[in-house]
Amino acid sequence: MNFDLTEEQKMIRDMCRRFAENEIKPVAARLDEKKEHPAELCQKMGELGLMGIAIPDEYGGAAMDYVSYMLAVIEISKACASTGVIMSVNNSLYCFPINTFGSDEQKRNYLTPVASGKAIGCYALTEAGAGSDPASLRTTAELDGDTWVINGEKKFITSGNVADYCVLAAMTDKEKGYKGISSFVVDLKNTPGFSVGRVEDKMGIKASGTAEMVFSDARIPEENIIGEVGAGLRQMLTTLDAGRLGIGAQAVGIGRAVLEEALEYSKVREQFGKAISRFQAIQWKLADMATELDAAELLLLRAAWLQDQGKPFEKESAMAKMYASDIAMRAAVEGVQILGGYGYCKEFPMERHMRDAKICQIYEGTNEIMRLVIARNLLN
């Protein structure tokens, strides 16, 4: 059993760490306050190969492995969780399904610009009445001659307000329930009938847009269906397995930021004539954070390694996402407690970490659903 990273994996981790520290961290608070999409950072990440890390170079990607992807998302999210989730969705929820299930033509036309960082991708699945239960999808796709006519509204779509392309889940046969779901790739900038609806005002990850996407008799070419008609659910489940790793890595990144800032503060804050880091109550909080974050990262790397080997990783992905997001939230709560009143003020980034951590327990499948996925795998 070898826990050492390869030289290539160390290289991308260190590169992302430098980039995050020098380019992202200094502007993270401003991006959060202004709810500003980090367009310039996304462009730079594209130039560094971070927007399509595991995609073959022939389609604009960096052709690296999923372990490297985890390390990269952790470092980016440590500096700014909003930037981290934009990067994660681009890689996991848009690039992954097209690379895995798309045709060569779809990869050339719709994967290359996004994996190379020249465009932004998103994944349009969730609706007002369909999140954990995809069979409740109301968005429809009906074939009319050589075009699909799309009608429906998507909700809570990360990057939905800025994306150039999306992978869309829609019902092609309502009578078949789950088996009637199909996936499509949509060129959003060139699809009449598509519009961006409400952009949510959220608790956290404020620099990442979360939007409604409205399709009203929107027409896309027949060849834009991904794979076969009715194959959408299988594609969706595999895609979400990959996406959960990205969110788990985002959560670990947030937790790492909390730990580093709590450690630094505890060494300089004095009470009763000594640094608070010398009090056992603080030491125990720091020890728990460090232990749980290491455990979460190991769960992530195991799942990513399984994905790299082409082995099943559904259970391991759910475990990693669930545990990482739970401990990120726990770490953030303790981080605010260690900083006391300062932790509750915007003068320090700790309160932002706490706001950002919460969503990791919700999107890419709530942690309640993650426990169901894990249990199903155990029982089967």
Question: Which residues are known to be catalytic?
Answer: 364
Exposed, middle or buried, 222 (CB in 10 Å: 0-12/13-18/19+)?
exposed
The span from the CA of 290 to the CA of 287, in Å, is 5
What single DSSP character describes residue 104? H
- DSSP per-residue letters across 245-307: HHHHHHHHHHHHHHHHHHHHHHHH-EETTEEGGGSHHHHHHHHHHHHHHHHHHHHHHHHHHHH
CA distances, 378 to each of 1, 259, 315, 316, 373 (Å): 24, 33, 8, 11, 9
Bridge partners of residue 195, in order along the sequence: 214
The Cα-based distances of 120 to 57, 86, 88, 91 in angstroms read 17, 9, 11, 10
Whole-angstrom distance, CA of residue 112 vs CA of residue 116: 6
Cα torsion 11, 55, 59, 8 to 10°: value is 20
- In degrees and rounded to multiples of 5, residue 165 shows phi and psi of -135, 155
Whether residue 46 contacts residue 61, with contact meaning beta carbons closer than 8 Å, is answered with: no
Nearest to 107 by CA among 168, 201, 185, 39: 185
Contact 214, 42 (CB under 8 A): no
